[in-house]
Amino acid sequence: MDISDSMKQWRASVAARAVVAVFALNAAAAAAEIPEIVHLDSADGKTRLSGYLYRPDTDKWPGERPGIVLLHGRTGLFSASAKKLDASTLSARTTLWGRFWAERGYVALYVDSFSPRGHARGFAAGTNKPGQRPPEVNEIEVRPLDAYQGLAFLRAQKSVRKDSIFLQGWSNGGTAALAAMSVKLAGAERAGPAAGFRAAISVYPGCGTLRRQLGESYRSHAPLLLLMGMEDEEVSFSQCAALAREARANDVEFVKYDGATHGYDSPASNRTAVAANVAAAKDTLDRAEKFLTRFSPAQAVGATQPEAGK
């Protein structure tokens, strides 16, 4: 290895550490913001769901704002080390994304599908085979309905623009987001341009069971952004690549990250230790914001813009 190669590696290492430091600072700042706890009924009326609501600064973002429903992954919403489970012990990734959207003018609602059904701590990796998890938290048949309950909740808020509500999910919640956006699966009758989500983002979902249950090419009722690490050790990259490849034209925008693992956007040290994860996380944050802005008229005008005619 010559000196120029060594210098390049050193510069890359310094750059990666700088990004990790910024990521950690953002996560710490996010953790200091405690969201509002709200409650909403499940679709079948049997469960009182919990929600965690992040609101934007109304001085910076006045008037009606776009909204986004957020679906947690298999581990649930809370920090693994938390002794009590409430709004003050949400995981670092949960708080980071909640504040990320609020700081950009979105009213962001996490719907907790697990805690009200007795599974607050979530589920271990490798338990996603058919029959291994309780049917009451199924990511294809139940959690999409939770997402639509979240949509209805946001639509009822005076501060939310009714035609600009989005959906985002990670891992198990990413699969639920894919199912919610499908024209065929749970919640399809509640979807469409007038009643459904304006667009959606699915981050490292499990796609195999979904593809098998569909039995046909994936079709979404609104634009969908699918992001995936190519070294995902928990769910199949090839299954999601196939879903995107077979999807109806222009339904799915597929982004793949070379070297990135499952949970690559987590601020946890075991994830930020992988340089590809840090790069993928940064790109996902940037890309997610730009993607939703394309479909959100409310984002076209910032708080500092003068009103028309003034």
Report the SS3 class of residue 283.
Answer: helix
CB neighbours of 131 closer than 8 A, spacing ≥ 6? Answer: none
Q: The whole model's pTM is what?
A: 0.86
User: Model confidence over 263-299: pLDDT tens digits?
Assistant: 999 999 999 999 999 999 999 999 999 999 999 875 6
Residue 298 in any domain: the answer is no
Residue 220 lies in a domain: yes
Backbone angles phi, psi at 274, to 5 degrees: -95, 115
Instruction: Assess if residue 63 is contained within a domain.
Output: yes
What is the rounded average pLDDT of the residues 5-32? 48
The domain of 153 spans 8-285
Q: List 107's β-bridge partners, or say none.
A: 67
Residue-averaged pLDDT of the chain = 87
Q: Is residue 291 part of a domain?
A: no
Residue 181 and residue 198 in contact, taking contact as beta carbons nearer than 8 Å: no
Residue 37 covered by a domain? yes
Judge contact between 43 and 148, C-beta under 8 A: yes
Looking at the structure of the chain, the number of domains it has is 1
Tokens of 24: 């950690």
d(CA 239, CA 205): 10
- What pLDDT digit, counting tens, does each position of 3-16 carry? 455 544 545 454 45
Phi, psi of 231 (to 5 degrees): -110, 30
- CB atoms under 10 Å from CB of 113, counted, come to 31
* Structural domain contains residue 279: yes
Which CATH number goes with the domain that contains 219?
A: 3.40.50.1820
Comparing C-alpha atoms, which of 226, 234, 72 is closest to residue 150? Answer: 72
Q: What is the pLDDT of residues 136-175, one digit of tens each?
A: 999 999 999 999 999 999 999 999 999 999 999 999 999 9
Q: Is residue 181 one of the residues assigned to a domain?
A: yes
Has residue 59 been placed in a domain? yes
Cβ 241 vs Cβ 226: under 8 Å: no
